Amino acid sequence: MQEPTFLILTALADGAQHGYGIISDVERISAGRTRLRAGTLYAALDRLQAEGLIAPDREEVVDGRLRRYYRLTEDGAAALAAEVDALRRRTEVAARRLAAFPRRGGGTAPAFAAHFQRGLR
């Protein structure tokens, strides 16, 4: 799963949102690393809707403009959960390997790996 897809599904896991809300939430979730442009977002929303991972929730008019809200579907939640599990497994492998990685001056980095293991719980 591409990172923008992961972040969009993560944003919608918190509840239905409209496009600008998703853009803002993705930026918050990614700590500013991912800034979706409107064209990129709406192309992704169309694709995710066609795949059955999201669905329109409702529409409202605000200041004369139509605002469409999207929600995560059961299939979308399952896809997101599967990706979270896959990321967790890869992170655990990386943490184990880092724990065994020799640092300059000898020794390994157990405190570093322990930090990651705590974050996975």
Q: Which amino acid is at 75?
A: D
Q: With contact defined as beta carbons under 8 Å apart, do 82 and 100 qualify? A: no
Residue 82 has pLDDT above 90, yes or no: yes
> Three-state SS for 55?
strand
CB contact burial 96-111 (16+ within 10 A = b; e otherwise): eebbeeeeeeeeeeee
Residue 117 has pLDDT above 80, yes or no: no
pLDDT at 98: 86
**Domain residue limits, the chain:** 3-72, 78-120
pLDDT at 74: 99
User: Could you identify the residue written with the tokens 């999207």?
Assistant: 70
- Average pLDDT of the residues of the chain: 90
Span 3-72 CATH architecture: Orthogonal Bundle (1.10)
